[in-house]
C-alpha cells in the first residue's frame, strides 16, 4: 500500500530527470531537489510546517498502514523541514521520522513522536507489549511531549512513549520539558539511545536491556532489569538499589544491572544525517571526536561537522536495475568536498550482483529503512579497504538464492585504516526469515578490516513470521570479526543456528551485547559442537588476544525445541589477555515437555539457568568478571 501525502504537506514541484554526474546542481534549491525525489518515490515524504490538520491526516494514514506491517515491503521516511509543529506522530514498522535541520532544536514537534504496544492478550502488563516493535527510528528532532500513551490514560502526558525493542534507534533527539518512557504497559526488549538530551527523567519500566551512548540527562534514569550499558553519558548516573533490584546470583557485579563506561575505545563520530542549509540539501558528516568526549555532540556547535552539499543524482529509488544504478552512483557521484554519497530512499532494492565500495570517503545512507536483497546467488555488499567508509540506516536480507553467501563483507584484510579514518557502521540490520518469500544466508556480516566501528547492529534470524523453521530460514552466523581494533557499541545478534558471533581479531571491544539463542533446535544432537552441548553465542578465539567486553547478555528460550536442549557456555573465551566484565544469562522460556537452559556463563564459570516451560528454579545468573590474566 502506497500513500501519497496531500499537497498541503508535501512539496510539489516539477520532476527532474535522474542523471549521474560529478557535480552538484548548485542552482537548484533544496525545495526543488526534495520535491523531485518525492515525485520519483512517494514514500520519501517531505513535511512542511503551517498546516497541522492536513499533516496529521496524512501521518495517520501511514501509521494505519504500518502499525501491523511487520514484514511488508512498504516503508516510509517522514522528513520534517525545520519549523514548529503540533502533531501526534505515531511510528509503525519500517518508518523513520527525521528532522532536516542542522540541530534537533531546529525542528520542534509539540505533541508526540511515539509508539504503542501490540494489542494485549488480556492484561496489558502481561504482553506481548513492544517485544516485536522493530524497524523504526526517530532522529534529529526536538519533541515536547503532551500526549502520553496512545492507549493508556494513566501514563503521564509529559512522558514520550518510545516502547520498542531491537532495530528501533533514537538519535539526536531533544526531549523538551518532558520525560522519555521506553515502555507502554507490556514487555519490551530494547534498545538504543544515542546523542540525545532528555530534560527530565528516563523511565525504563519493563525494558529487559538497553544501550545508551553520548546522551545527557537532567533527570534520573529509572530502575533497570537485566543489562543496561552506558558509554560517555553526562548527567545523573543510575544507581541500583538492592531492595528494588535484588541480585540474581551471589556473585553479581556492583550496581547491577548497570555498566558504566567512561569513554569510547577509540575516536568515533556520531551518525551522519540529511539536512537543509541555506536552501541547499546536504549530508552532515559529524566530526571525529576524541575517545574521552561525552554528551551529545550537537550541544557544542564546533562539533557539528561538515555539511556536504548533494543533489538529485545522489538519491536512489528502487527500480528494475538497482545494482547498476547504485553502483554507478558509488563510482561516479562525487561531491565538491571529495565525498561519494549515495542516499537510498525507502523501498526494496533487489540486487543481481554485489555492490562494490572501493573509494575513500564513501557514505551510503538509508532513509526509511530500505532493504537490500539478492536476486541471484550473489552477496549484497563487498567493500575494499577504503578509508572513511560509512554505511548507515538500512536492512540487509537473505533470499532463497543466497544460502551460501556472506551478505556483507567489510574489507579485504589489507586495511591501512587507523583510528584517524575508521570505517563505520550505523544502524545496520540483517533479517533472515519472516517474510513471505524464503530467506537464507551463510553469515550476515564479516569484518576483515581493522579499526572498524559499529554502532547499533541487529543481526537476526527470524523466530516468527512466514517461512521460519530449522530447515527453512537457515543461516549459521550473525557476525564474524577478523580485523584488529574493531569496536562495537550496541551489538544485538540473535537466533543463528551455530555460533552467533565469532571474534578473531586482536584488541576488539564490545560495549553491550544482547543475544537470544535459537528457539528451535530439533534436539541436542542437532545442536552440538564436538563435545560441547550447543554453540556458544560469543566465541572469542585464541587469535583474539586483548578482547574487552562490557555488559554481555545471553538468553535462552527453547520454546520450539521438543527435546532436552542445553548450552554449555554462553561465551567461550579461548584468547589470552581478555577482559570481560558484567555478564548475565537468563532462562526466558522453554518447551513444556523438556528441560532446557544454559550451564554456565563463560568457560564453566557462572551458575546454571534452566527450566521447563515457563517455570524455572534458577532463572538468572550474573557474574562480575571472567578468569583474570588467563
Backbone angles phi, psi at 35, to 5 degrees: -65, -40
The DSSP code sequence of 281-333 is: EEEEEPPPB-TT--S-GGGSGGGS-EEEE--GGGEE---TTHHHHHHHHHHH-
pLDDT average, residue stretch 25-53: 93
Rounded to an integer, the average pLDDT of 433-462 is 97
User: What is the Cα–Cα distance from 539 to 508, expressed in whole angstroms?
Assistant: 13
472, exposed or middle or buried, with CB in 10 Å at 0-12, 13-18, 19+?
middle
* Better pLDDT: 414 or 387: 387
Residue with the larger pLDDT of the pair 247 and 177: 177
pLDDT reported for residue 20 = 37
- Whether 111 shows a pLDDT value over 50: the answer reads yes
**pLDDT (mean) for 128-132:** 91
| Predicted local distance difference test score (pLDDT) of residue 414 | 74
Poorest-pLDDT segment among 2-11, 90-99, 353-362, 564-573: 2-11
Task: Work out the pLDDT band at 367, boundaries 50, 70, 90.
Answer: very high
Q: What is the mean pLDDT of residues 89-104?
A: 98
Residue 59 host element (H or E): helix 52-66
- Please state, rounded to an integer, the average pLDDT across all residues of the chain: 90
Q: Could you tell me if 415 and 451 are in contact, meaning their C-beta atoms sit under 8 angstroms apart?
A: yes
pLDDT > 80? residue 11: no
* Per-residue pLDDT at 249 exceeds 60: no
Q: What percent of the chain has pLDDT over 70?
A: 91
Alpha-carbon torsion 538, 553, 467, 323, what sign? negative
pLDDT in the model for residue 127: 65
pLDDT confidence of residue 247: 46
Model pTM score: 0.94
Residue 574 has pLDDT above 80, yes or no: yes
Q: According to the model, what pLDDT value does residue 421 have? A: 86
The stretch 314-336 carries a mean pLDDT of 89
170 — phi, psi (to 5°)?
A: -120, 120
**Contact in structure between 315 and 345 (CB atoms under 8 Å):** yes
Bond prior to 191 in cis (omega within 30° of 0): yes
| Residue 122: predicted pLDDT | 61
Q: Per-domain residue ranges for the chain?
A: 30-260
pLDDT band at 121 (very low <50, low <70, confident <90, very high): low
pLDDT of residue 373: 96
- Judge whether residue 1 has pLDDT over 80: no
Condensed to tens digits (0 to 9), the pLDDT of residues 581-599 reads 999 999 999 999 899 999 9
> Which of 12-26, 113-127, 190-204 shows the lowest per-residue confidence on average (mean pLDDT)?
12-26
Confidence of residue 9 (pLDDT cuts 50, 70, 90): very low
User: How far is Cα 208 from Cα 561, in angstroms, rounded to an integer?
Assistant: 23
Helix (H) or strand (E) segment spanning residue 431: strand 423-432
* 75/387: higher pLDDT: 75
Q: State mean pLDDT over 332-357.
A: 91
Amino acid at each position: 500500500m502506497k500513500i501519497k501525502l496531500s499537497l498541503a504537506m508535501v512539496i510539489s514541484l516539477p520532476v527532474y530527470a535522474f542523471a549521474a554526474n560529478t557535480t552538484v546542481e548548485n542552482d537548484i534549491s533544496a525545495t526543488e531537489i526534495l520535491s523531485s525525489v518525492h515525485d520519483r518515490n512517494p514514500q520519501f515524504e517531505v513535511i512542511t510546517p503551517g498546516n497541522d490538520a492536513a499533516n496529521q491526516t496524512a501521518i495517520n494514514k501511514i501509521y494505519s498502514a504500518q502499525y501491523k506491517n511487520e514484514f511488508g515491503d512498504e516503508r516510509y521516511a517522514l522528513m520534517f523541514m525545520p519549523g514548529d509543529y503540533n502533531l501526534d506522530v505515531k511510528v509503525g514498522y519500517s518508518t523513520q521520522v527525521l528532522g532536516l535541520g542542522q540541530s534537533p532544536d531546529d525542528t520542534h514537534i509539540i505533541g508526540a513522536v511515539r509508539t504503542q504496544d501490540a494489542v494485549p492478550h488480556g492484561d496489558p502488563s502481561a504482553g506481548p507489549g513492544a517485544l516485536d516493535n522493530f524497524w523504526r527510528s526517530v532522529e534529529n528532532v526536538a519533541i515536547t511531549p503532551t500526549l502520553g500513551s496512545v492507549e493508556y490514560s494513566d501514563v503521564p502526558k509529559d512522558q514520550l512513549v518510545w516502547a520498542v525493542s531491537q532495530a528501533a534507534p533514537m538519535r539526536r533527539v531533544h526531549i523538551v520539558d518532558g520525560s522519555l518512557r521506553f515502555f507502554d504497559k507490556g514487555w519490551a526488549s530494547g534498545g538504543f539511545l544515542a546523542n540525545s538530551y532528555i530534560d527530565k527523567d528516563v523511565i525504563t519500566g519493563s525494558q529487559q536491556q538497553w544501550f545508551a551512548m553520548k546522551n545527557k540527562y537532567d533527570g534520573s534514569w529509572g530502575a533497570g532489569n537485566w543489562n543496561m550499558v552506558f558509554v560517555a553519558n553526562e548527567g545523573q548516573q543510575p544507581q541500583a538499589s538492592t531492595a528494588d533490584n535484588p541480585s540474581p546470583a551471589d556473585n553479581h557485579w556492583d550496581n547491577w544491572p548497570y555498566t558504566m563506561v567512561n569513554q569510547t575505545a577509540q575516536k568515533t563520530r556520531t551518525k551522519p544525517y540529511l539536512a537543509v542549509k541555506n536552501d541547499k540539501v546536504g549530508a552532515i558528516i559529524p566530526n571525529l571526536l576524541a575517545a574521552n568526549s561525552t554528551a551529545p555532540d550537537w550541544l557544542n556547535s564546533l562539533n557539528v561537522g561538515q555539511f556536504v552539499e548533494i543533489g538529485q543524482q545522489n538519491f536512489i529509488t528502487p527500480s528494475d536495475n538497482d545494482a547498476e544504478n547504485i553502483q554507478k552512483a558509488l563510482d561516479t557521484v562525487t561531491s565538491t568536498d571529495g565525498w561519494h554519497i549515495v542516499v537510498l530512499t525507502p523501498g526494496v532494492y533487489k540486487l543481481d550482483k554485489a555492490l562494490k565500495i572501493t573509494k575513500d570517503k564513501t557514505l551510503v545512507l538509508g532513509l526509511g529503512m530500505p532493504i537490500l536483497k539478492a536476486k541471484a546467488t550473489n552477496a549484497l555488499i563487498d567493500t575494499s579497504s577504503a578509508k572513511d567508509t560509512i554505511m548507515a540506516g538500512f536492512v540487509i536480507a537473505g533470499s532463497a538464492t543466497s544460502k551460501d553467501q556472506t551478505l556483507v563483507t567489510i574489507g579485504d584484510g589489507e586495511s591501512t585504516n587507523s583510528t584517524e579514518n575508521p570505517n563505520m557502521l550505523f544502524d545496520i540490520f540483517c533479517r533472515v526469515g519472516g517474510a513471505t518469500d524464503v530467506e537464507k544466508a551463510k553469515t550476515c556480516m564479516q569484518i576483515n578490516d581493522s579499526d572498524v566501528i559499529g554502532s547499533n547492529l541487529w543481526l537476526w534470524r527470524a523466530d516468527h513470521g512466514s517461512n521460519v523453521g530449522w530447515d527453512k530460514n537457515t543461516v549459521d552466523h550473525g557476525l564474524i570479526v577478523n580485523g584488529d581494533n574493531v569496536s562495537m557499541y550496541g551489538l544485538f545478534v540473535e537466533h543463528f543456528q551455530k555460533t552467533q558471533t565469532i571474534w578473531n581479531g586482536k584488541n576488539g571491544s564490545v560495549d553491550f551485547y544482547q543475544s537470544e539463542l535459537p528457539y528451535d533446535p530439533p534436539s541436542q544432537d542437532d545442536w552440538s559442537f564436538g563435545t560441547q552441548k550447543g554453540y556458544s553465542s560469543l566465541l572469542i578465539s585464541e587469535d583474539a588476544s586483548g578482547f574487552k567486553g562490557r555488559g554481555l547478555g545471553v538468553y535462552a528460550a527453547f520454546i520450539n525445541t521438543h527435546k532436552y536442549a542445553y548450552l554449555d557456555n554462553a561465551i567461550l573465551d579461548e584468547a589470552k589477555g581478555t577482559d570481560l566484565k558484567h555478564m548475565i544469562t537468563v532462562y526466558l522460556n522453554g518447551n513444556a515437555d523438556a528441560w532446557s537452559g544454559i550451564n554456565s556463563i563463560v568457560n564453566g564459570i557462572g551458575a546454571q539457568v534452566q527450566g521447563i516451560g515457563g517455570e524455572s528454579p534458577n532463572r538468572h545468573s550474573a557474574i562480575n568478571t571472567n578468569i583474570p590474566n588467563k
